[in-house]
A and B are shown apart, each in its own frame.
Chain A
Amino acid sequence: MMKEVFKIEGLSLFYKDLQAIKNIDLDIYKNQITALIGPSGCGKSTFIRCLNRMNDLIPEARMEGCIRFDGEECQVTGYDVIGLRKKVGMVFQKPNPFPMSIFDNVAYGPRQQGVRNKEVLKEIVEKALKQAALYEEVVDRLNDSALTLSGGQQQRLCIARALAMEPEVILMDEPTSALDPIATQKIETLLEELKKEYTIIIVTHSMQQAARISDYTAFFYMGELIEYDKTNVIFSVPKNKQTEDYVTGRFG
């Protein structure tokens, strides 16, 4: 039996009166890649933003139900949100490195936690960049602006930036949708590596991508979780008609 990192029970999310997520039950397993698929506006992104409580930043958003992270209820008021975000990193759709040097970007997280020692920071940055398969490409120009990197490199830098915090889980919101096929492939290979140490939840619009890299796949539609199973099951013998239509490209 695999260990659950997240245990989600009856999760609903409302923007004012609009219900974006409807009563979702879902377990996320450790050291697995879980892909969330579904048409635009089906609540996938909203869902992963519940997991590191980024929805807190939207004043109208209201959450119901229960999310357990490592067995502890993390959606309750008073839970250490900052601590949660340290353990649950996030990579966004558009590469969004800070306009600082490559080094400073990766060192940003640890620095905010009070790491000041230069040697320690150097080690963290080096390790994170190596894990993100970016080190070789930028080793000579760590002090250059992160904005001089290509889009794919920037996205891997954002992954390195998240890895520098040594999280348990990495949430990825369509991380390759703004990248070309070669950069996409690099990131997919990288995810295979990262899964050994981290739990990865990835939102994607590319069915092939979900099929290629993920171990589990969840199909969302209109804010509901239609089907959740092992990826090879979803893509070969889905139980639900809607899922089958979607993964075979008949709608969505």
Chain B
Amino acid sequence: MSKRKIRQYLLDSLTYISTAISVLALSVIFFFVLREGGSLLSIDLLSGNYHAQGFVGTLINESDETFELGDIIGDKLFTVERYGIVLEQTQDLAGDSVIKVYYVDQASPLRNLNNTDPSANEKIIGLREGMVLRRVSYQEHPTSLTSRGAEAMANDLNDDSREIREVIFSLEGGGIRGSVITTLYLIGLTLMFALPFGILTAIYFNEFAPMNKITKLMRNFIETLTGVPSIIYGLLGITVFVPLTVRLTPASNTNLIAGALTLSVILLPVIIRTTEEALKVVPNDHRFASLALGANRTQTTFKVVLKQALPGILTATFLGIGRVIGESAALIFVLGTAVKDQVRIFEPSTSLAVHIWSMMTDEPANIALSSTIALIILLIVLILNILIKATVFIFSKKGSA
């Protein structure tokens, strides 16, 4: 075999191997996320509260009968005949071990409890199916804790010598609804700020600006900004946008608006660059044709050029959304790390990516939930991708090239 042939084979096999490694690396990420987080993925997780509303109740009357709960069978189900409830050893939405109430008999004394919180509107509270039993404390006996498991809790409750002092229970928590909503708000607000500015700037540079040293310098500057790490923009956000929003809006701390403004600044160079690229590929012939028809520069730009650049601008939008969803470093500064259920634009909250950060800095780190959120982020990006492709396809069918 000739030397040249060997070199060709070598180069060919190098391309094959590189492709295989790249594809493998990307699929490993996807499968890791799917395997770790797939089991927790549910609508309840997406729509559920993160913070569980807690209750502390005291018995109105002590149990005086025994309930028949015979036919409830399950590996992780434990019956409490004395109070007519069934407990389940399970996980909450976030994957933490909890004791859930599986069944409450209609006549169970735990159905109606005195609320120990004097300021609450509801004076009578009660244990219901699906709630999480956190602790039960007794007179003259040690408290039953979640950490000791459902079986121990059930045994303690069945113990006739114990007298319940307080029942501490809560709704189920761990949902990520707040972070999902925050992320959607961020996407909307950021694009609202960044898209018009970015597109119009790109139009200025590509269509209107004279080709001189100053514009060249400005373009190079913008290009450089594309590569600046986002945490530096975070610094800008915390020194400029947070104080600015605190002064001008009802905000008193880090907040969603400051987050969106910071992200807009991050997006600007990306949008300007991508839009400029899209404008550049519009053939000059079309500009000349329009101008030769007596249209002025503005008409030519907005009626002919921009229309054709639309698929490129959509790509810019998509890249922007991807950037917003994926951003965490800058947002930790300007948006905060406290997971919120009720999202307000003038208050701190967390985006999905920062939610991952919060989960991973917890003790112990919640890898399962983090992977689930990662999976959700991947799915959102995937759906967006398909949407953009579809839009571009429709546009191209409708008469564009």
Partner of B293, one of A109, A145, A147: A109
Q: Which residues of A contact B308 (CB under 8 A)?
A: 99
Q: With A and B bound together, what is the CA distance between A140 and B80 in angstroms?
A: 80
Q: Which residues of A contact B293 (CB under 8 A)?
A: 85-86, 89, 108-109, 112, 161-162, 165
Within 8 Å of chain A (Cβ to Cβ): is B244?
Answer: no
**Closest Cβ neighbor of B293 among chain A residues:** A109
Smallest Cβ distance from B212 to chain A, in angstroms? 9
Within 8 Å of chain A (Cβ to Cβ): is B210?
Answer: yes
Known: A92-B285, A98-B304, A108-B303. A145 touches B399 (CB 8 A): yes
**Closest Cβ neighbor of B399 among chain A residues:** A145
Encoded as 1 (CB less than 8 Å from any B CB) or 0, chain A from 139 to 153 comes to: 000001111000000
Q: Which residues of A contact B291 (CB under 8 A)?
A: 54, 57, 85
Within 8 Å of chain B (Cβ to Cβ): is A71?
Answer: no
Q: Which residues of A contact B286 (CB under 8 A)?
A: 96, 98
Among B8-16, B114-122, B176-184, B294-302, the stretch in contact with A: B294-302
B400 engages A99 (CB within 8 Å):
yes
B299 engages A112 (CB within 8 Å):
yes
Smallest Cβ distance from B306 to chain A, in angstroms? 12
Smallest Cβ distance from B309 to chain A, in angstroms? 11
Within 8 Å of chain A (Cβ to Cβ): is B383?
Answer: no
Contact residues, B377-401 vs A (CB, 8 A): 398-401
Smallest Cβ distance from B392 to chain A, in angstroms? 13
A113 engages B294 (CB within 8 Å):
yes
Smallest Cβ distance from A148 to chain B, in angstroms? 9
Contact residues, B168-226 vs A (CB, 8 A): 210-211
Contact residues, B264-314 vs A (CB, 8 A): 283, 285-286, 288-296, 299, 303-304, 307-308
**Closest Cβ neighbor of B295 among chain A residues:** A112
A96 engages B294 (CB within 8 Å):
no
Encoded as 1 (CB less than 8 Å from any A CB) or 0, chain B from 99 to 124 comes to: 00000000000000000000000000
Partner of A112, one of B285, B303, B307, B398: B303
Partner of A94, one of B285, B292, B398: B285
Q: Which residues of B contact A145 (CB under 8 A)?
A: 398-400
Task: Give the size of the chain B interface in residues (CB under 8 angstroms).
Answer: 23
B401 engages A147 (CB within 8 Å):
yes
Q: Which residues of A contact B295 (CB under 8 A)?
A: 82, 108-109, 112
Q: Which residues of B contact A99 (CB under 8 A)?
A: 307-308, 399-401
Encoded as 1 (CB less than 8 Å from any A CB) or 0, chain B from 77 to 90 comes to: 00000000000000
Q: With A and B bound together, what is the CA distance between A108 and B286 in angstroms?
A: 12
Within 8 Å of chain B (Cβ to Cβ): is A52?
Answer: yes
Known: A96-B286, A99-B401, A101-B399. A52 touches B292 (CB 8 A): yes
Q: With A and B bound together, what is the CA distance between A144 and B397 in angstroms?
A: 10
Smallest Cβ distance from B313 to chain A, in angstroms? 15
Within 8 Å of chain B (Cβ to Cβ): is A76?
Answer: no
**Closest Cβ neighbor of A164 among chain B residues:** B293
Within 8 Å of chain B (Cβ to Cβ): is A249?
Answer: no
Known: A57-B291, A85-B294. A100 touches B399 (CB 8 A): yes
Known: A83-B294, A99-B308, A165-B294. A146 touches B399 (CB 8 A): yes
Q: Which residues of A contact B296 (CB under 8 A)?
A: 82, 112
Known: A86-B294, A112-B299. A92 touches B399 (CB 8 A): no
Q: Which residues of A contact B401 (CB under 8 A)?
A: 99, 147
Smallest Cβ distance from B152 to chain A, in angstroms? 73
Partner of B289, one of A57, A82, A83, A158: A158
B399 engages A147 (CB within 8 Å):
yes
Q: With A and B bound together, what is the CA distance between A252 and B151 in angstroms?
A: 102
Q: With A and B bound together, what is the CA distance between A161 and B294 in angstroms?
A: 12
B283 engages A96 (CB within 8 Å):
yes
Within 8 Å of chain B (Cβ to Cβ): is A33?
Answer: no
**Closest Cβ neighbor of A144 among chain B residues:** B399
**Closest Cβ neighbor of A108 among chain B residues:** B293
Within 8 Å of chain B (Cβ to Cβ): is A90?
Answer: yes
Q: With A and B bound together, what is the CA distance between A108 and B288 in angstroms?
A: 13
**Closest Cβ neighbor of B287 among chain A residues:** A57
Contact residues, B347-401 vs A (CB, 8 A): 398-401
Q: Which residues of B contact A57 (CB under 8 A)?
A: 288, 291
**Most interface-central of B285, B293, B399 (chain A CB within 10 A):** B293
Given contacts A86-B293, A99-B399, 7 further A-B pairs with CB under 8 A are A54-B288, A82-B295, A85-B294, A92-B289, A96-B285, A162-B293, A165-B294
